[in-house]
Amino acid sequence: MERPAWAPPGIDISVPSVSRIYDYYLGGSHNFEVDREAARKAMQFMPGLPKIMQANRAFMRRAVRYAVSEGVSQFLDVGSGIPTFGNTHEIAQKADPGARVVYVDHDPVAVAHSRAVLEGNDGAGIVQADLRKPADILADGETTRLLDLERPVALLLVAVLHFLEDSDAPGRSVAALRDALAPGSLVVVTHASYEGIPLPREQAGGAVGVYKDIRNPLVMRSREEIARFFDGFEMVEPGLVSMPDWRPETPAAQEDPYAFSGYAGVGRKA
C-alpha cells in the first residue's frame, strides 16, 4: 500500500476513517484506498450518499451565514473533518472578516490537513479532541485563545452526533458544551435518520452495516431522539426539518430525493 506524502506520520492507513470517507463523498483528495473502498461499499446500498453529504454542507453554510446575520461571529465546529472548499471559516470570515473559528476533530489526518489550510489565518484554529470529552475541547489553548465564552458562540455539531452511540452519552456532551456558552449562543445540528431516506429501511441498513464493520457505528436516530439534543435551546424557525427545508435559498423541490434524508436544525440558548 503506497503511503501518500501528505499522510501524517503514525497514521495507520489500513484503517478507514469516517472523516476521510466523508472527504471522498465530497470529491476531496485526502483519503486512502481503504476509505474509498468502504465508501463504495456503503454506496452499493445507498447510492445517494454523496448527495446527502452535499446537502449537509449546503445546510451548514446557510446556518453559518444565518449566525453571522444574527450577530454571532464565533464558531466552535466539533467533528469538523477535513476542510474542503466552502468550510466554516471561509463562509464565516467572508460574511464577517473578524469572525473566529475553532475546529475540533479527533482524526489526525483531519487535524494535520486543517493546520495546513489554516496557516497564516489568525482567526481560526484546530484542536485535536473528541466530542466525548467536552472539557478537553473547552480547556484547549486554541479554544481559549480564539473564543470569548462570555459572548455568543455558534456550536456546530454537523454530521457528528450520529457517530456517538447511546453508551457514549452524547446528550451529556452537548449539555456540557451548551452550559459553557453564553446566552444568545446557537447550536447547529445535522443527524442521520432512517426517516426521509428514499429507500426501504433494510437496504439503507446495509450502508449502516458498513460503518459498523469499520468500527465507526453510524447511529440512526428518530426525529424525536434528535430533538432531545436541543434541550435548553429554543428552536429557530422552521424547527427540526430535512436539510433542504431549512431556510432554503433555492426551491427545495429541486433537490435530489436523497438530500431529504435525516434532520437539521438550529437552536438558540435563552
**4-49: pLDDT as tens digits:** 888 888 788 899 999 999 999 999 998 999 999 999 999 999 999 9
pLDDT of 187 strictly over 90: yes
Confidence of residue 152 (pLDDT cuts 50, 70, 90): very high
Parallel, antiparallel or unpaired: strands 263-269 and 100-105: unpaired
For residues 199-218, average pLDDT: 95
Q: What is the pLDDT of residue 253?
A: 73
- State residue 4's pLDDT score: 82
* Residue 213 CA: distances (Å) to CA of 131, 187, 216, 218: 22, 31, 7, 10
Average pLDDT over residues 76-100: 95
Q: Which of the residue ranges 56-60, 155-159, 229-233, 254-258 would you say has the lowest mean pLDDT?
A: 254-258
Mean model confidence pLDDT for the chain: 95
Q: Tens digit of pLDDT for each residue in 97-147?
A: 999 999 999 999 899 989 989 999 999 999 999 999 999 999 999 999 999
Supply the Cα-derived Rg of the chain in whole angstroms: 17
Is residue 250 predicted with pLDDT exceeding 90? no
- Give the rounded percent of residues in the chain with a pLDDT score beyond 90: 88
Contacts of 80 (CB under 8 A, 6+ apart): 87, 88, 103, 104, 105, 110, 114, 126, 156
pLDDT of residue 7: 81
pLDDT tops 90 at residue 3: no
| pLDDT at residue 53 is higher than 70 | yes
pLDDT score of 255: 87
Q: Provide the pLDDT for residue 8.
A: 82
CATH of domain 18-269: 3.40.50.150
Q: What is the mean pLDDT of residues 251-269?
A: 92
Domain extents in the chain: 18-269
CA 233, CA 231: separation in Å to the nearest integer? 5
Residue 257 CA to residue 165 CA, distance in Å, equals: 27
The band of 1, judged by pLDDT with boundaries at 50, 70 and 90, is low
Give dist(CA 95, CA 188) in Å, integer: 17
